[in-house]
Amino acid sequence: MTYELYYWPGIQGRGEFIRLALEEAGVPYRDIAKDPAGEAQAVSKLQAVLGDAKTPHPSFAVPLLKAGDLFISQTANILMYLGAHHGLAPADEAGRIWTNQLQLTIADWVVEIHDTHHPLGPMEYYQDQKQEAHKRAASFLKYRLPKYMGYFETVLKQNPSGEQFLVGSALTYPDLSLFQIIEGLRYALPRNQSRIETKYPKVIDLHDRMLKRPRIAAYLASSRRIPFNEDGLFRHYPELDM
């Protein structure tokens, strides 16, 4: 089976967490955002899927994964499915729940990162909420970012398996998602990251080890990886990198 991944073209966004899992699993997938007919056609296909009145389980938003007859949305939900089917999650129920719990925490973190540059929401341009963004980013950097980084540092330290993964003794999908978070923060807030990362050696070590995984390294070096940019989730506005 070849999966179909629906997400907005031109940005990594939440779709990137899905791409990393698909790439690490080595399974075939079609990225609709990369439609050979161009971005307009990709958006048309995406909107057709979201607006299909015949679907019994309508999706609120993308990312959306088509897996045979299944249409699965919500990032953590998609990753839970892929984890179960492609060895990216534990086989036991307690392990699967813990893995999903970590991914949901990452989902919360993603919202807070987005809100550093769009605290009033996505319907207004950044330029129209710069003052509010500066205040929100300052609070995020002082209070929330250390809380999230510290939490995942603790999870890695307390992993009872003694291995350097978030869950058990093998890679799971939250490892890849944490890697993406660090990549994005280094793009968006490079000055701050260079200042704080030494406080979280296990998180950074995990990030560095993901870089060395053959399939991930190949993906990052390929044209399949959409570059970070100021239209995506992680945006570099120097005035917010305090």
* Residue written as token pair 């439609």: 35
pTM score:
0.96
Mean pLDDT of 77-86: 98
Mean pLDDT of 68-90: 97
Q: Mean pLDDT over all residues of the chain?
A: 96
Mean pLDDT of 17-37: 96
67 φ, ψ (degrees, to nearest 5): -125, 90
Cis-peptide, bond into residue 9, ω within 30° of zero? no
pLDDT at residue number 54: 87
Q: How far is it, in rounded angstroms, from Cα 137 to Cα 119?
A: 9
Domain boundaries, the chain: 3-85, 93-225
Q: What is residue 67's three-state secondary structure?
A: strand
With a cut of 90, say whether residue 55 has pLDDT above it: no
| Superfamily for domain range 3-85 | Glutaredoxin (3.40.30.10)
Which amino acid is it at 90? P
User: Contact at 8 Å (CB) between 123 and 213?
Assistant: no
User: Contact at 8 Å (CB) between 12 and 31?
Assistant: no
Share of the chain above pLDDT 70, in %: 100
pLDDT at residue number 207: 98
Residue 91 vs residue 1, higher pLDDT: 91
Mean pLDDT of 132-144: 98
Q: What is the CATH number of domain 93-225?
A: 1.20.1050.10
pLDDT band of residue 161 (cuts 50, 70, 90) is confident
Q: How far is it, in rounded angstroms, from Cα 34 to Cα 225?
A: 10
